């Protein structure tokens, strides 16, 4: 048996060990002391949901109606939608819903403010107008669960300042199903690292925080600009304040969105995430490097392994480990069916973990919502 085959088997064992460690972290996050903030009628905190929208005529109405339809007292729920210079029917949709719902407010911005740009600028303008103790963020192309506000608010015990959540993708085809499994896998990693107390990242279309914590770090104005503004704010709150953080794997806190419809859109999304993720601490790339090395060794195996069985054996073990790791979150959110896309996901996963690090070094430009950022 060649030295490189032994290296492949050794890295595969290390890969599985990392997954077991992450699975422990997920369990630890789920089993943290259940000191949930339980409310009796009339004692619920005031919650403000802030949504930034730019040319979202196809999605905005469903998004806002899902928020306004939450099982939370109407007098304790405020929705603030920020129109970021939309040129389609977005303003008229906002106007219609504002007339129908007294707890929906809107504002429109016409220009960027200082160093703030794009979605970050819209959120930075909307959050100060919110009256809530808790600020919840989602995107205009998302649908929130009916229990989203109430169940997320429960995690804001007296020491918690920021709570991340899972966003699921609709799986209507093999292409969207592959992405849906990828999202559940990556968000499971994010929740696991928070359970291990080495938090890496969150996603901004399901992110909530105390307004006091936001103001304590100086808001988005004081956070270095990033194309992944959610991660930048999360990092600021957990490093510059004493507030604790949570990432519950809890079906009641779920948000749903559509997957990218084309390979080009998917490539741009991954590229944007990669650019924004360059600022995470060293331990993040260290964890991810195990996966990159495993995938490189599998792809290059024909060059050092005359027989195919070593690569197939390593791949089978890796796939089993990935399925084991993702299954916990998939069961919680009723998405076990996504495992049927595992072969496609594995191919996709191997390709992008090898290509993405090169792409973000070669091209630092990000195109998002019709705007270009560097």
Distances (CA, A) of 102 to 79, 95, 147, 249: 10, 12, 20, 32
Q: Which CATH superfamily is domain 36-274 in?
A: Spore Coat Polysaccharide Biosynthesis Protein SpsA; Chain A (3.90.550.10)
Euclidean distance between CA atoms 184 and 323, whole angstroms: 11
As a whole number of Å, the end-to-end CA separation of the chain is 48
- Residue ranges per structural domain of the chain: 3-27+278-364, 36-274
What is the reported pLDDT for 247?
Answer: 92
Contacts of 97 (CB under 8 A, 6+ apart): 61, 64, 65, 68, 104
Query: Where are any strands of DSSP class E within the chain?
Result: 47-53, 77-84, 104-109, 134-139, 142-144, 160-164, 167-169, 207-210, 244-246, 255-257, 366-368, 371-373
Per residue of the chain (374 residues), give pLDDT as tens: 688 889 999 999 999 999 999 999 988 877 665 566 777 777 899 999 999 999 999 999 999 999 999 999 999 999 999 999 999 999 999 999 999 999 999 999 987 776 777 788 999 999 999 999 999 999 999 999 999 999 999 999 999 999 999 999 999 999 999 999 999 999 999 999 998 888 888 888 999 999 999 999 999 988 876 666 788 899 899 999 999 999 988 889 999 999 999 998 898 888 777 766 656 655 667 788 899 999 999 999 988 888 888 899 999 999 999 999 999 889 988 999 999 999 999 999 999 999 887 866 666 655 555 555 45
Euclidean distance between CA atoms 182 and 187, whole angstroms: 9
What is the reported pLDDT for 117?
Answer: 76
Name the pTM for this structure. Answer: 0.89
What is the reported pLDDT for 314?
Answer: 96
What is the reported pLDDT for 351?
Answer: 93
What is the reported pLDDT for 284?
Answer: 65
Q: List, in sequence order, every residue forming a beta bridge with 160; answer none if it has no partner.
A: 244
Euclidean distance between CA atoms 333 and 209, whole angstroms: 23
3-state secondary structure 138-167: EECCEEECCCHHHHHHCCCCCCEEEEECCE
- Category of 371 on φ-ψ map: left (φ > 0), alpha (ψ -120 to 50) or beta: beta
């Amino acid at each position: 048996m060649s030295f490189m085959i032994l290296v492949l088997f050794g890295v595969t064992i290390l890969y599985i060990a990392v997954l077991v460690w992450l699975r422990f972290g997920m369990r630890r996050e789920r089993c943290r002391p259940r000191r949930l903030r339980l409310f009796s009628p009339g004692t619920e905190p005031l919650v403000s949901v802030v949504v930034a929208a730019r040319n979202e005529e196809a999605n905005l109405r469903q998004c806002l109606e899902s928020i306004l339809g939450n099982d939370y007292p109407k007098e304790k729920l405020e929705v603030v939608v920020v129109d970021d210079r939309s040129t389609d029917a977005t303003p008229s949709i906002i106007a219609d819903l504002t007339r129908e719902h007294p707890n929906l407010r809107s504002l429109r911005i016409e220009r960027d403010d200082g160093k703030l740009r794009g979605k970050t600028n819209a959120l930075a303008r909307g959050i100060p107008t919110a009256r809530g103790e808790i600020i919840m963020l989602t995107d205009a192309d998302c649908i929130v669960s009916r229990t989203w506000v109430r169940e997320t608010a429960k995690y804001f015990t007296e020491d918690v300042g920021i709570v991340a959540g899972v966003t699921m993708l609709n799986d209507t085809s093999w292409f969207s199903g592959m992405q849906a499994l990828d999202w559940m896998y990556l968000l499971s990693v994010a929740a696991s690292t928070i359970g291990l107390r080495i938090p890496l990242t969150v996603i901004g279309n399901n992110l909530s925080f105390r307004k006091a914590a936001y103001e304590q770090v100086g808001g988005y104005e004081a956070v270095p600009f990033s194309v992944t503004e959610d991660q930048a704010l999360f990092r600021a709150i957990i490093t510059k304040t004493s507030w604790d953080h949570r990432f519950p794997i809890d079906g009641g806190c779920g948000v749903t969105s559509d997957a990218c419809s084309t390979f080009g859109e998917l490539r741009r999304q991954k590229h944007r995430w990669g650019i924004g993720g360059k600022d995470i601490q060293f331990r993040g790339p260290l964890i991810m490097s195990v996966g990159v090395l495993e995938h490189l060794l599998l792809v290059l195996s024909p060059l050092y392994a005359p027989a195919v069985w070593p690569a197939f054996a390593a791949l089978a073990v890796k796939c089993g480990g990935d399925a084991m790791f993702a299954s916990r979150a998939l069961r919680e959110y009723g998405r076990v069916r996504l495992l049927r896309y595992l072969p496609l996901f594995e191919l996709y996963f191997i390709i992008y973990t090898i290509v993405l690090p090169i792409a973000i070094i070669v091209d630092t430009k990000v195109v998002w919502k019709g705007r270009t950022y560097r």
